[in-house]
Chains A and B, each alone.
Chain A
Amino acid sequence: MAYKNPIPSLDSSSRNTQRTGGLSDYVKCENVFFAFIDVLGFKQTFDEHKDVKTEFANKYSHSFKFFSYLIENTKFISKGVRETECSAGQTSDSLYFYTKRIDFLLDFIQLYSYFNLYAMSENVFFRGGIAKGNLFINTPYQFYGDSVIGAYLLESKIAKNPRIVIDESTFNSLQELNAQETEKIINFDGSRHYIMPFSNYNKEKLRSIMSSPLFEFPRIDYNKIRQNLEDNRKRYEFDDSTYAKYGYLLSELNKFENT
C-alpha cells in the first residue's frame, strides 16, 4: 500500500494523525490511556467445570453483559469514537477501554469501581492494568501498541492481587486533572498506584457520566461480596496464590468498612 500523507490540521499534536502505511491503515495515536482488565481464574474455572453444564459460566456472561450495558450508556462511548476518541469492548475473558482524554479516563475509573463491586457480588473478580503510551488503531477494536503492552504487563506481572494497577504517567495525569477525586479512588501500596477495590460511589456522580440522567444503578450488596470472598478463601485454602488473593480483598473490604 502506497504511503498516505497525513491530513494536517492546526489542532493535531506531533505526528498523531500520521498514517503508518503497511498492509492495514493503522493510525498512530500518541499518549493514549489503555485499560486492560482480565477475569481472575477464568481458565481454572472452565477447566474445573469441563464435564458439567454451563451454568457456572452464567455469572461471567452476566457480568460482561452488565459491563457492556454500563459502558454503552456512558456519554463518552454513546457519542461515538470519532467524537470522543474513546472505545471499550470485550475480547475472550478480558475487558478493555482506551481514551486520549484523561477526564474520560477518570470517568471510566469511577464507573469501573462501581462495576467491580457489582461483579464481586456476582462472584466475578478482575485484575488489570492501565498504562499510557502509543496506540496504533485501525478500526476501534483493532489495535496494538506500547499502551496495550504496558497495561497487559501491569495486569499479568505486577498487579498480583485482584486490583487495577496504574502506571506512573497515568497517575500523574489523573492527579493533575483532579487530585481530590483521584485520592478517593486511587491508593498507593508503597510501590504501585492502584484503583481501590472498595470505595464509596456516588450515584449522582455516576449518573453525570451516563448519557441519561435517569440511569438506574443497582444497589451493591456488600454482604454478598463478603460471603463470596470468605467462601472462595475457604475453597482455595490449599492454593496459596489464590488464597492470598481473596485474603487481600477481604483485607481491603475490612479497611473500607472501618473508615
Chain B
Amino acid sequence: MDNGFVGAGILEVITESLYDKPIVVFREYIQNAADSFCETNTDRTKLAAHMWLLNDCLYFLDNGAGIDREVFQKKMIRIAGSTKVRGQNIGYKGIGRLSGLPYCRNLVFYNIVNYKKGQFQKYEISGEKYEIAKKRDDFSSLSFEDLMNTIGSASEDPDPEVVFDIINGHKELFEYRNTGFLVCMENISTVLKNTIQEKDFFDQLNWLLPVPFREELLKDNNYSELFSELGGIGSVQKTDPVAARSYNVFFDGKPLYRPLATEMFRTYLCKCELQKYAVCVYAFSNKKVAMDKSNPFSGIRIYFDNMLLCDENELIPALQHYGFTNHGLYELIQSVRGMGAVIYVVDKVSISTNARRTFIDVTDSDSLEFLQLLGEFVENIYQVRYALSAYYSQKKRNIKNDEKVLVLKLEAEEALKRLAREELVLDSDSELEHDYEALTDIEKKKAVKSRITKEIKSLITRYLTEVQDLDIETCISDFKKWMLSIDN
C-alpha cells in the first residue's frame, strides 16, 4: 500500500499463512511471469518461463517485460504496491514475490534490463537476517519498509557474469527477447526439496500451472474444436477472454502440459457454460459414475486464469456451508470423483479469488450465484450416479419386470441428458407462476411456499455472509431485524 503504516509483522503473515504449502511457490512465480508476458506485445510462442533445480537452488527465469529500471528497487521494498489490475492480470496485491522466503536461505531477484548489453538489477533478501530481525525488541514497531531495508539489499550493477553463469543454459529465451526476470531461491529448505522429489511432483505442476493442452487434443478430430476454443498458445491480447490461456513453461528442461488425454474422457466429453461466469469441460460414463483410481481426470478442478484454484475438497464443503447442497460430504465427493471436470472462470470482474488463492471470494450475489451453479452441476452428477446405479442393478436383477426397468432407464437417460446440457441455468419457478391463476388452491399454496422458501434461503445465505456476530439465542430476532433493515 502506498498510504498508511504496514508493520513488519505482515511478512510473517504473508509467508506463514498465505503461502504455507511449498507448491504455491511455483504458482506465484509463474503467475508473475505470466503477468509480465501480458505486458509485452510479443507473440506468445516466443515467451517462456523456465524453472530448474541446481545444487539446492531453485530458479525461475522468464523472458517477459521485466520491471522498469527506475521503479525496480521501489517495487521490491513495497508491499501491495502492485500496478497489476484486478480483473486483468493473474496475481495482484504485489505480495507473491515473497512466497519463496519461507523455503530458502536467500531470495534473490534479478531484473533483466537488457540481456544483450548485460544490464541487470538485483535485490536480495537474506533469510538469516530476517530471523535475526524477528528477535529484535522493536520488531513490532518496525515498518515493512524498514524491515526490507534491514534484511534486503539492492544493487543497480550486479556482476553480469554471475547472472550469465546462472542463465547460460537458457540462452534461447533471449534470442528474440531482451528483458526478463530471474528469481533465485538459494539453499532451499528440506520441505521444498521433498516436495520436488515427490513422485507425482511433475504431474502436480502440470495440473497447477497455466500450461497448454497436449497437442493430441488439438489435433484430434473429436476434440480439436473444443480445446482450441478453450485456449492455446497464440498472440497475446490483454482483453482476450480465453478461458485456458496458456504459456510455455518448463521444469528442468521438460515442457509442461495439462495432463488431459483422450483415454481419460470416458464415454462422453461435454462442455457447459456456467452462465457468464465460467466454462466447464467434463467427462462421464453412461455405465456408471464410480471412482477409478487409474484415471487422473477425476473430480472437479476449478481454474482461475488457467491456474488451479481448488478441487472438490474445497468446493463441496463450501457448497454445504452456503446451503447449495443437502447431500453428505463423502457421497458427493465420491460422486464427483466418478467423473472428471475442469472449470475455467472467465468472468474475472464478477468472480475473484481469496487472498490465499485457494477458493473464490464469496462476498456478493455474483459469487453466490456462481456457487449455486456449481451446486447445480454437482447435483446433476449425483443424480446421474444414482440413476445409473438403480437402472443397471434393476436390469441385472429382474429381467422380467420390464416396466420397472423401462422407467428406470428413462430416468437414467433423462439424468444423462441433463448432465450433458450445453448451458447450465438454475431452475426457476417462472413457469408455475405464469399459470398461477389457473392453479387450484393447494397448487397456489405450493407455488407460494416454493417462492418464499427460495427467497428465504437466499436471504439466509446472504445474512450469514454479511453478519459477523451470530448468537444462537437471538438469531431469529436478529435475522428479522436484519431483513427489515435491508428492506429499508
Residue in B225, B270, B271 whose beta carbon sits within 8 Å of that of A1 in the complex? B225
User: From B412, which residue of chain A is reached at the shortest CB distance?
Assistant: A10
Binary B-proximity of A1-29 (CB < 8 A = 1, otherwise 0) = 11111111110101100101110001010
- Is B391's beta carbon under 8 Å from chain A? yes
Whether A15 contacts B222 by the Cβ 8 Å rule is yes
- Is B419's beta carbon under 8 Å from chain A? yes
Whether B222 contacts A8 by the Cβ 8 Å rule is no
Whether B225 contacts A8 by the Cβ 8 Å rule is no
- Is B485's beta carbon under 8 Å from chain A? no
- Is B167's beta carbon under 8 Å from chain A? no
Binary A-proximity of B210-241 (CB < 8 A = 1, otherwise 0) = 00000000000111111001000000000000
- Is B176's beta carbon under 8 Å from chain A? no
- Residues in chain B near residue A9, CB distance under 8 A: 286, 413, 416
- Residues in chain A near residue B271, CB distance under 8 A: 3, 5
- Residues in chain A near residue B226, CB distance under 8 A: 3, 21
Whether B286 contacts A12 by the Cβ 8 Å rule is yes
Residue in B221, B391, B413, B416 whose beta carbon sits within 8 Å of that of A20 in the complex? B221
Whether B420 contacts A3 by the Cβ 8 Å rule is no
The count of residues in chain B whose C-beta lies closer than 8 Å to any C-beta of chain A is 25
User: From B284, which residue of chain A is reached at the shortest CB distance?
Assistant: A8
| Residue from B221, B226, B271 having most chain A Cβ neighbours under 10 A | B221
- Is B265's beta carbon under 8 Å from chain A? yes
- Is B409's beta carbon under 8 Å from chain A? yes
Give complex CA distance A9, B409 in Å. 9
- Is B457's beta carbon under 8 Å from chain A? no
Give complex CA distance A112, B300 in Å. 53
- Residues in chain A near residue B224, CB distance under 8 A: 21-22
Whether B221 contacts A14 by the Cβ 8 Å rule is no
Binary B-proximity of A116-134 (CB < 8 A = 1, otherwise 0) = 0000000000000000000
Known: A15-B222, A20-B221, A22-B225. A5 touches B270 (CB 8 A): yes
Whether A14 contacts B267 by the Cβ 8 Å rule is yes
Whether B222 contacts A28 by the Cβ 8 Å rule is yes
Give complex CA distance A66, B224 in Å. 43
User: From B409, which residue of chain A is reached at the shortest CB distance?
Assistant: A10
Give complex CA distance A257, B356 in Å. 86
Whether B225 contacts A2 by the Cβ 8 Å rule is yes
- Is A136's beta carbon under 8 Å from chain B? yes
Whether B221 contacts A22 by the Cβ 8 Å rule is yes
Residue in B225, B229, B412, B420 whose beta carbon sits within 8 Å of that of A6 in the complex? B420
Known: A9-B286, A12-B286, A15-B267. A3 touches B413 (CB 8 A): no
- Residues in chain B near residue A3, CB distance under 8 A: 223, 225-226, 229, 271
Give complex CA distance A7, B226 in Å. 16
Whether A7 contacts B221 by the Cβ 8 Å rule is no
User: From B415, which residue of chain A is reached at the shortest CB distance?
Assistant: A8
Give complex CA distance A116, B421 in Å. 49
Binding site for A on B (CB under 8 A): 221-226, 229, 265, 267-272, 286, 391, 409, 412-413, 416-417, 419-422
Binding site for B on A (CB under 8 A): 1-10, 12, 14-15, 18, 20-22, 26, 28, 136
24 pairs from A and B in contact (CB 8 Å cutoff): A3-B225, A3-B226, A3-B229, A3-B271, A5-B268, A5-B270, A5-B271, A5-B420, A5-B421, A6-B269, A7-B417, A8-B268, A8-B420, A10-B412, A12-B267, A12-B286, A14-B267, A15-B265, A15-B267, A18-B268, A21-B224, A21-B226, A22-B225, A28-B222
